[in-house]
Structure formats: C-alpha cells, structure tokens
Structure 1
Amino acid sequence: MEEPQRRIRAAYTESTITVYQAYPTEIGLPAIREGRFPAVWKRDRMTWIKPSFLWMMYRCGWGTKAGQETVLAVEITRDGFEWALRHACLSSYVHGVHPDRATWQRQLKHAPARVQWDPERDLRLQRLPYRSLQLGLSGEAVRRYADEWTVGIHDMTPLSHEIHALVSGGDLDSAARLLPEEGPYPAHDELLVHLQE
C-alpha cells in the first residue's frame, strides 16, 4: 500500500503514544532514573518531540552527536498529544492553508505547539519520499508535557547503538527486526486539517 505524503507514524497504545528525544547525559540519565524530566531541564524553552524513531536517529546520529548522547522514549498520554495537535500551527507559511502571511505569523506567535513535516528516513537514514511529524512544544504545552502528559521515560540508547552497529555491518534484516513497532497513528481529520501543507 502506498504511503500518504504526510502521516503520523508512531508506537502507541489505547491511551499513550511514544515520542523520542535525545539529550546530554546530565539531562537524559536523571530523566531515565526518575521517569520525569529533572530540574535542569528547561521548561521555558521550545522542545521538539518526534514520534518516528528513525527520524530521531537521523537527528541524533544514533545517539552519537554531541549533546544528544542519551536517547529517550517518552511515553505520553494520547489526550495530551492530541491537545498539542489541536493547538498547533504549521512552523512555516503555506499559501492556501493560511489566509495570509501576517495571519500565520500571529497564529505562530500565540500557538503553544508547532508542526513540521520532515522527510521520513530508512535504516540508512536516507530520505524517503513521504514525511513524518515533528511537534514543537512551547509555553503551556512544554509545562503540560513535562508535568501532566508524561507517563514514563525509557532509555533507548543501547538499542540505538545496537541497531546502528547492525546497519553499519550491513545486516539490515536484523536491524529492522529490532526497530520499535510503529504504525499509522489514528488521528481524526479534525486534528490535522489545519496542519496540512
């Protein structure tokens, strides 16, 4: 079946969705240990969450980039994730979606969340011809993410390194078997109608 141009691909349950982030060890290790973001984690900065594991691997270089050595799987409530989508604005102006550039800029300034659709990646981290969601949280959304939506935080660093080693050794089949199982997230049309490019 052909992939749609834009889709949320994620691991999810009836009540939660898993998103990925990568941090330096001074943030990542306490977050894993406590299951919550530590005090040094800044609630006043924008934070980007990625439901696609392979897009996160592209972004953090399999957990090898400086400042992104600890890969986290953050399990959050679907209610929270969908609240963010409802209150999000596209991160760039799109003619036909927004009435005009000034309206988009006003929406972006006041929105607690923003959406980018970035090219999905394969195991070699090469671009695929379709896109996956990246969700930026700021202000109220960051606080809700950290203090209300987060159900658990898990260390994905060893798995990231293991998959990377298999890919580097050319064993793509074994690497693929270790990937988190992701599927199309059942987002109702009303959640995404204002977020199509």
Structure 2
Amino acid sequence: MAAEREIRADYDRDALAVYQAYSPAIADAALAAGRFVPPFSFHRMTWIKPSFLWLMHRSNWAQKSAQERVLCVRLKRAGWEAALAQAVLTSFEPGTFAGPEQWAEQFAAARVHLQWDPERTLRGAGLPYSSIQVGLSRHVIREYVDDWIVRIEDYTPRVRKIYGLLQSGQADKAKRLLPPERVYPVRAELRARLLIEE
C-alpha cells in the first residue's frame, strides 16, 4: 500500500519526467524548438505533474479543449529539487506553519506552489493516496525553460493508443504502455515542507 503522500515518477540518475497537456499550437512550437516558446506564456503559472494517470484524469485523456496534446518534459533532477525547495502548500496545514497568518504570508510571496490531489487509477477513479503537482510562477518559469529542461517528447500518440485500448476493453494491454513510475527519494530537510511523512 502506498504512503498517503509520496512522489512517484519516471526518473533516472539525472532527470525526472513531468507531464503537461497543451493546445496543438503550444505543443507544436515547443517540439519544433526543443523548448517552450510562444504561444507558451511566460507570464502565468504553469503546473507540472510527475503522475501520468493524474494528468490523464485532468485532461480526460487529451480530449479536453486546449489539452489535446500531451508532452513529457524531462527535467534535471537538480531543477525539480530546486522547485520543491521553494514550494509552499496551496492551503494551510496545521503543524507545517505556525498559524494561518504565517502560511498566508509565505503563500503570497511563494515562487512555487504545491498541492496534493488524489492519485488516479487507469479508469480515473480516486485512490486513497495522493499525487503531487507543482505550480511554477512567472518568477521561475524562465529558469524552468532555460535551465531545467533536458528534452520535450510528444506523448500524444502513446496517450491515444492507451485510451483506444481502454475503450476497447483491453485494460491489461493499456497498463503495459504506462510510463514506469516509482517512489522518488526526497531529502529529509524537504519532507516536512512537502507534508511527506518519515
């Protein structure tokens, strides 16, 4: 049984995969340039998620408007950890902050937001443990784009294949195409900040 909160991701020694769903215009420009370029916005928060199935739930398997293309963004682990080190929870949690006022003050100044949402099954049902999503504000997006990204891959064909198998009742085959996610090790000094228990 998974812990209530833990980061599960597809990662290796150097990089970690996060997923984002975009309109074709943003995805095509990013894939052609090998990095995010306009019409991607550098002025609003962008959310990155290491859980593939959570993004599938959020984008309805890339069926939602302006979320028709799924990108797998490989980030340097150093960049991912730099984001986590700056992250402030999107809601007050007793024990993590001295009080609601301290949380509100830190949240207002936060460059990176963090929230935990129920992880999802292949068919979108909620699970009793959570998946992390990290919001990068306009103050760190340039760093994300210029320094942290190793490469951007188009996962849309993979998403469509998995979805097609699911729709035709071949869940076992669909499951075999999912990215391999395992528990990501989080440094002890970051655990309290992220609400991850020892």
TM-score, L = length of structure 2: 0.96
2:146 and 2:18 map into 1 onto residues whose CA distance is 16
Look up the match of 2:13: 14
Q: Which runs of 4+ in 1 moved over 2 A?
A: none
C-alpha displacement of 1:170: 1.4
**Shift of residue 47 of structure 1?**
0.5
Residue 114 of structure 1 deviates from its aligned partner by 1.1
Does structure 1 conserve the Cα–Cα contact (< 8 Å) formed by 2:96 and 2:192? Answer: no
Per-residue deviation, 1:191 = 2.0
- State the match for 2:43 in structure 1: 44
1:189 offset after TM fit, Å? 2.2
SS across alignment from 2:74: strand
Q: Equivalent residue of 1:125, what SS?
A: coil
- In the alignment, structure 1 residue 34 sits paired with structure 2 residue 26: no
Whether the 8 Å contact between 1:85 and 1:192 is mirrored in structure 2 is no
Matches within 5 A, 1:42-191: 42-191=41-190
1:82 Cα deviation from its structure 2 partner: 0.2
Cα drift, residue 134 of structure 1: 0.4
Tell me the percent identity: 44
Q: CA deviation at 1:145?
A: 0.7
For the residue of structure 1 that corresponds to 2:116, the secondary structure is strand
Give the number of equivalent residue pairs.
Answer: 196
Letter in 2 for 1:105: A
Which structure 1 segments of 5+ residues have no match? none
| Unmatched 5+ stretches in structure 2 | none
Contact 1:20 1:52 in 2 (8 A): yes
Give the structure-1-normalised TM-score: 0.96
Counterpart CA distance in 2 for 1:192 and 1:140 is: 24
Task: Output the CA distance in 2 between the equivalents of 1:180 and 1:135.
Answer: 19
> Cα distance, 1:167 vs. partner?
1.1
Counterparts of 1:34 and 1:88, CA distance in 2: 29
What secondary structure is seen at the aligned counterpart in 1 of 2:91? Answer: coil
Q: Which amino acid aligns with 2:75?
A: I
**1:192: how far off?**
2.5
